[in-house]
Amino acid sequence: MKFLKQKLIGAAGSVSGVASVLGSWQICHNVCLGIVALLSIAGIAAVGMPLEFLTKFAVPLWTAAFVLLLATLYFYFRKKCISKKLVLFNSGLIVAGIPFQPLQQFNVVFWVIGGGIAIVGVYLLVKEKYRGKLKWTKQI
């Protein structure tokens, strides 16, 4: 049961990160451009933005991601059952993906701060995994 709870909490954190990325208009725009490019490689011409409808859901998706991050933080501080590095990574994604129109003039600042936080989380996670492999190899 404890393992299931940990998996569920981890999944909620992952959904939070994904929703924050999808909630950002700029990232939706880039994903759309990528889909158009992939379709053109296959010989299919697409006019306009096939995922433009997602821009209407940017704020609700980001809000859902933020709420899930708050739930993840609650479990992190209360139960200490979530990786600090993944919480850091998800927090960075949510900061980088702030979709509110009045704040769009500060997008670059949010991208740099959020991207920096996310990169630190990834770095710490990779460092931990690499160190674990290094210890295991030395034992052999």
pLDDT greater than 60 at residue 25: no
Range of lowest pLDDT (42-46, 58-62, 93-97): 42-46
What does the pLDDT read at residue 126?
A: 86
Stated as kind and residue range, the H or E segment containing 138 is helix 107-139
pLDDT greater than 60 at residue 140: no
pLDDT greater than 70 at residue 66: yes
Collapsing DSSP to helix, strand or coil, 42 comes out as: coil
Residue-averaged pLDDT of the chain? 76
Say if CB 110 and CB 121 are below 8 A apart. Answer: no
Longest pairwise C-alpha distance within the chain: 58
User: How many Å apart are CA 29 and CA 55, to the nearest integer?
Assistant: 9
This prediction has a pTM of 0.58
As given in the structure block, the two tokens for residue 109 are 């600042």
List CB contacts of 31: < 8 A, sequence separation 6 or more: 51
| Cα 70–chain centre separation | 14
User: How many Å apart are CA 134 and CA 1, to the nearest integer?
Assistant: 32
Say if CB 117 and CB 95 are below 8 A apart. Answer: yes
| Residue 125 exposure: Cα atoms within 13 Å on the Cβ side | 15
Collapsing DSSP to helix, strand or coil, 1 comes out as: coil
* Amino acid of residue 102: P
